[in-house]
Amino acid sequence: MSQKLLIKLILILLYLIILYYNKFNGISDSYKNLLSNRSFNTHFIVIVLGTRSETVKMIPILRELKNNKKFFCLTINIAPKLKYINEILDSFNISNYIDIELNILRNNQPIYEMTSKIILELNKLFLLIHPDALIVQGDTTTSFAAALSAFYQNIKVFHIEPDSLYSFFKEKFNRRAIDDIAELFFTSSELDANYLLTKNKNPNNIFVTGNTIVDTLKLVFNNTSHSNYIQWLLKESKKRCKSGAGCKIILLTCQRRANFINTISNFLKAVQKLLENINDIIIIIPFNLNPIFREYIRIALPEEAFNDIINNKVINNKKYFYFSRLLLIKPLNFMDFIHLQSLSFFIMTDSLEIQEECISIGKPVLILREKIESLEDAISGSTIIVGIESENIYNYAKLLLKNETLYNQMSKKNNIYDSRNSSKMIVNLIEKYFNNKLSDSYNNYQNFLNKLNYSQIISKFDYSIHNPVNNFEYDLVIVLTVWKRNNLDRQLTQIKRQTILKNKKTNIIVFQNSNHINVEDIISKWENLEEFNGLVKITFIKSPIDTGYFGRFLSPFTSSVTSNSYFIICDDDVIWGDRYFENMIRVVDEGFLATRTGRFINENFKEFFPAPIYEINLQVCFNEDIEYDFGGQIWAGRISWLRKAWTHIPLSIENSEDFWISATLKSFYNISTKTPKCPCPKGEIINPELCAASDKSAYHHDNGLIGNISVSHTIRTKLIKETSIKFNYNVLFWQ
């Protein structure tokens, strides 16, 4: 090789090195400065921030890591030009926590471009710094792309808020992908931890730590007070509201861009109707009035009042004077927004993050979405899913304003996310992980049972979290289970003939497990034909995954009920006479759980069916109610009983739901189980109106599924035995 050619190659190499160095000049300098302060024995952690939700929930984690001498924490902001991350950190006086800024994210950026840029830039960075671990939060594209970058560089990933039962929107892919990479999982609740077990995650690496949003809110309320702007907003609200100090603030937010464009007119129609008909409210809507959004709002509001509304002026037009109680305000910083939530009577929002904040603060939330996204939110008792139709939004808001009992139940602070210091727990667990001293993992189902207290959850569950509004509470909830047998149309036909429906307000819930069959046409047929009278409403709940045998026992809580309301839960392989439900409710009114196919337990804890009292032409019948240890196929009782049963969580969600409910009610509440009489006096034909029977399809039985895991029937006797012992159940056969 000639000397000239060698020199050229060296110059080219130097040029490339200079380019590479310039590309990472800021990174290298930042890292060198930080490295000089790093102790030799610290654990090197990286956190990447790209969204509001990540930043808000990671603030207490950052504080814990930065103040712990065992850790060296590098924080990366990938959206410095968008400003919202720095604004949030500034409000907590921790803007100095950002160590590196990468200008990756921009407004209206396609998700594929965002993902590829994050992976590309973080891969280069991780090659330079190679930390011990990356902590990611939730389901954002930032978290997914950062986790994938760490995976490519063999860096461990710790996931806060991993995959959960009801995170079934498109972001669920992000959670699942991160979980396939992650080493440690920090869940908000035992429900989520148990769900991870169904996904075959290592139980030794699952930890129930609560939700860090609770820690963030504590920082807000313990360290800040109302700003001048919030004080002005309160003063202005009081001035505009006829009721003065008694005026109720309703906060409405529309965070999702698709919602704003497609449904803002629906939201504003509901707002207009509320303001027109209710005088003691003021509605505040914060959002960015860019030209596009402004145009959608202009179309949705009366033309004569638009200019005054948009400029927050008192409306001079008498016809629309009530719009003076609508305040369209600029987007608030995080601190102000949290304080405004706490001052509001209730909140209407389409944002999951805001739902979590309101639940922890103790404010009712009307969710402007069609589907449930978080199981914890659903069972907190603080939320109602009202959908996006203006009439539903108006009716539910009016109900919450007028029904004091409902409001009081929904406005209690809820510890569904746990009230412990989640952030401190997470950091301590990570430290133990690096020191090989982890011992508090979610290592078996019994830990879940011992920790979980359903009483706080179920005690608040008196009102609907699902479908259409009715301004009354249901007397009866009937649950029809849909799995692999398609008997729904026949069962609805039989329900229509039930005598008890004539005088009871009834909610028929069709609860479908996963997507094994399609029953939506059947649902539509019955809704469109208006087969039932005005007292009956059909609600369709479709679980995105299989929930085994226990999911249906939670579904009655999704209806608008009281503690005295009745429930009837039906298998998909049973048929009944016209007065059978009336027969079951009679047994319930006498103080017993009503069921079918009664069974006893022998001395070895094995279940057995008794010999029939009478047999006429192979038809089993009996003229008196019979007490059994438990029964199956159909269960009837009061909502309060079902709520009580769930305060004693089952030993397993795989099997024995039938024995669990009977054992808990008898052992703890002295509510025994009986099968209603199916009368046929000797020599006479059986009266089918009061009876029920198994459908032919019952002979073809598939094992249930929890997620994609087949339910085991081999443990049934063992579960009956362990449940009997744990609940101190007094077996009838031994008496």
pLDDT in tens, 11-45: 555 444 444 444 444 445 555 565 556 666 889 99
Predicted pLDDT at 444:
41
What one-letter code names the amino acid at 491? Q
Whether the CB-CB separation of 466 and 559 falls below 8 Å is answered with yes
Q: Which of 48-57, 325-334, 365-374, 563-572 has the lowest mean pLDDT?
A: 365-374
| Ranges 3-17, 60-74, 272-286, 613-627: which has the least confidence | 3-17
What whole-number distance in Å separates Cα of residue 44 and Cα of residue 55? 20
Of the CA atoms within 13 Å of residue 448, those in its CB half-sphere come to 23
Nearest-angstrom CA–CA distance, 500 and 498: 6
Q: How far apart are CA 54 and CA 88, in angstroms?
A: 11
Distances (CA, A) of 205 to 159, 237, 432: 11, 50, 12
What mean pLDDT do residues 262-279 have? Answer: 87
Please name the amino acid found at residue 63. Answer: R
Q: Alpha helices of 284-380 — where are they, by DSSP H?
A: 291-300, 303-310, 334-343, 352-361, 375-379
> Distance between CA atoms of 568 and 479, rounded to whole angstroms?
6
Phi, psi of 410 (to 5 degrees): -80, -20
Higher-pLDDT residue of 69, 417: 69
Strand partners, 251: 284, 347
Position 698 scores a pLDDT of: 52
In this prediction, residue 468 has a pLDDT band, given cuts at 50, 70 and 90, of: very low
pLDDT digits (tens, 9 = 90+) for 198-231: 778 888 899 988 889 889 999 998 888 899 999 9
Written as six digits, the tokens of 287 are 């959002």
Residue 548 pLDDT: 78
How confident is the model over 628-639, as a mean pLDDT? 93
How far apart are alpha carbons 52 and 79 in whole angstroms?
10
Tokens of 236: 């202005």
pLDDT of residue 441: 55
Burial (CB < 10 A; 0-12, 13-18, 19+), residue 668, is middle
pLDDT at 330 (0 to 100): 87
Nearest Cα neighbor of 101 from 81, 119, 131 is 81
Q: In whole angstroms, what is the distance from residue 525 CA to residue 529 CA?
A: 6
Check if the beta carbon of residue 143 is closer than 8 Å to that of residue 57: no
Note the pLDDT of residue 456: 35
Amino acid at 133: A
pLDDT at 722 over 90: no
Q: H helices of 301-373, where?
A: 303-310, 334-343, 352-361
What's the distance, Cα to Cα, between the start and end of the chain in Å?
101
Pairing of strands 561-570, 474-482: parallel
Q: Is 424 exposed, middle or buried (0-12, 13-18, 19+ CB in 10 A)?
A: middle
Measured CA to CA, the distance from residue 630 to residue 665 in angstroms comes to 11
pLDDT at 478: 95
Are 86 and 77 in contact, with CB atoms under 8 Å apart? Answer: yes
- Taking phi first (over 0 means left), then psi (-120 to 50 degrees means alpha), and beta for anything else, what does residue 656 get? left
Q: How many C-beta neighbours within 10 Å does residue 678 have?
A: 27
pLDDT band at 408; cut points 50, 70, 90: confident
Look at residue 178 in the predicted model and tell me its pLDDT: 94
pLDDT over 50 at 446, yes or no: no
pLDDT tens, position by position, 102-147 = 988 887 788 889 999 999 999 989 988 888 999 999 888 999 999 9
Residue with tokens 């698709």: 258
- Per the model's pLDDT, the better-predicted residue between 260 and 408 turns out to be 408
In this prediction, residue 303 has a pLDDT band, given cuts at 50, 70 and 90, of confident
Only one residue has tokens 């190679």, namely 130
pTM for the whole structure:
0.61
CA–CA separation, 429 and 443 (whole Å):
14
Q: Which of 209, 196, 190 is nearest to 164 (CA)?
A: 196
- Sequence-distant (≥ 6) Cβ neighbours of residue 289 within 8 angstroms: 297, 310, 328, 330
Under the banding of pLDDT at 50, 70 and 90, the label for residue 5 is low
pLDDT (0 to 100) of residue 338: 92
Question: pLDDT tens for residues 173-204?
Answer: 888 899 999 999 999 877 778 778 877 888 88
Q: Report d(CA 445, CA 594) in Å as an integer.
A: 30
**Long-range contacts: 164-168, Cβ < 8 Å, 24+?**
164/188, 164/191, 164/192, 164/195, 164/374, 164/375, 165/191, 165/192, 165/195, 165/375, 165/545, 166/372, 166/373, 166/374, 166/375, 166/378, 166/544, 167/139, 167/373, 167/374, 168/371, 168/373, 168/544, 168/545
How many degrees, rounded to 5, is the angle at CA 417 between CA 648 and CA 665?
Answer: 10
**What does the mean pLDDT of the chain come to?**
80
Interatomic CA distance for residues 732 and 735, integer angstroms: 5
Q: What letter would DSSP give residue 678?
A: B
More confident: 331 or 672: 672
What pLDDT shows up at residue 297? 81
Q: In a 10 Å sphere around its CB, with 0-12 CB exposed, 13-18 middle and 19+ buried, how is residue 531 labelled?
A: middle
Please tell me which residue, 59 or 715, carries the higher pLDDT value. Answer: 59
Please check whether residue 55 is in contact with residue 49, taking contact to mean a CB–CB distance below 8 angstroms: yes
Q: Dihedral sign, CA of 397, 398, 399, 401?
A: positive
- Nearest in space to 274 (alpha carbons), one of 323, 236, 314, 308: 323
Q: How far apart are CA 163 and CA 177, in angstroms?
A: 9
Band (169; pLDDT cuts 50, 70, 90): low
**What is the predicted pLDDT for the residue at 637?**
96
Predicted pLDDT of residue 457:
33
pLDDT at 308: 84
- With a cut of 80, say whether residue 693 has pLDDT above it: yes
